[in-house]
Amino acid sequence: MTSPLSPYRRLTIKIGSALLVDSATGKLRSSWLADLSEDVAALKAAGTEIVIVSSGAIALGRRLLKLDAIALPLEQSQAAASAGQIALSQAWAEALGRHGIVTGQILITPNITEERRYYLNARTTIATLLSLGAVPIINENDSVATAEIRYGDNDRLSARVATMIEADCLVLLSDVDGLYTAPPARDPTATHLPVIASITPAIEAMAGGAASHLSRGGMTTKVEAGKIATQAGTAMIIAKGTETHPLRALTEGARHTLFHPAQSRAQARKRWIMGTLAVAGTLQVDAGAARALLTGKSLLPIGVTKVKGQFDRGDAIAITDPDGHEIARGLVGLDSEEARLVMGKRGPTVVELLGVGNRSELVHRDNMVMVSKAGEVL
């Protein structure tokens, strides 16, 4: 039997507080985490990149600070998160460290996935950790987030992270084994849905509320996360995480719900670049560079003859041929001042001007969409 995870090379795995922390004692479920870490190590050994979005900081911090109330005021939640983030990070580092895996902690607030400069920096940090064989552990920065500037649940946060790093699949480990036609705890006749081709209003209506005071989300937020992920070309799986070795169970065919991506990730990215980003400037290229772009090459500084407009790294820019016709659109790797400095220059000169470690491409092919003279995506 083919594993449900076998098609995917980069996974984002979301772990909820109720899985990681015992609701009765507030203590870490150490043996469960050890089993999960063994599963993660097995996936990594098979060549899969793993990013973990982990809840649990507030739940762990509550016990450390002896905060027993079911509902905590904001300042106590922030204090609990501050204390709990250290405990959570240490727990993951120790559990994965037993398998020789290094972890890196990244705390995220909504502006990091919504504002391009922060988005690019976070994505680069995560990509670098993955390239070095580490497992990034990501959580919302609840110690500083307020009710007005927060995600409020790690389901949607994990979907934002999954799309940001271009994960192939988002795995939500939950207390249920997928989506049912109605909340199974309320309706014993509810039917399990193994595959969701698209998230329709009828599918959204099947979701329920949060299960416990430790978790802010429920099936509703999971379906909302599915909308974010699938529209960006990332598949999503909801699977049961309460038992031992939940990822191993999933690879062995445990019941789950798979949400198909609405389109390929490449198609989603092209649509995003073409349709949702305002063009901040223009790079005009020579005939040789124009031909190179049509064969799938990145845009190098040496092929650029003119830079128009003011833009920052990560902004959308138009690329025109020598006659001024737009032939491509993409996300630029340098700001406009740097672009003007290096245009027409060869690689060694670019390094001298910008320093070692800076990007050699003005627009990488992965961040570029070719367009016809009629403005159609090629």
The string of pLDDT tens digits covering residues 195-214 is 999 988 888 888 754 444 34
Best CA proximity match to 312, nearest among 293, 331, 284, 299: 331
Least confident of 76-80, 118-122, 263-267: 263-267
Residue holding tokens 């037993």?
98
pLDDT at position 148: 41
Instruction: Kindly report whether the global pTM for this prediction surpasses the value 0.85.
Output: no
Q: Are 311 and 277 in contact (CB under 8 A)?
A: no
Q: Give the whole-angstrom CA distance, residue 334 versus residue 289.
A: 18
- Predicted confidence (pLDDT) per residue in 106-133, tens digit: 988 776 766 667 777 888 899 999 999 9
pLDDT at position 359: 65
Mean pLDDT of 75-79: 88
pLDDT at position 73: 85
Residue 150 has pLDDT above 60, yes or no: no
Provide the 3-class DSSP secondary structure of residue 195: strand
- Predicted confidence (pLDDT) per residue in 310-354, tens digit: 998 888 899 999 999 999 999 998 899 999 999 998 888 888 877
Per-residue pLDDT band for 275 (boundaries 50, 70, 90) equals low
Burial of 42 (0-12, 13-18, 19+ CB in 10 A): middle
- What single-letter amino acid sits at 350? V
List the strands of the sheet with 316-320, edge to edge.
Answer: 304-309, 279-285, 316-320, 326-331, 368-370
Q: Give the whole-angstrom CA distance, residue 355 versus residue 352.
A: 6
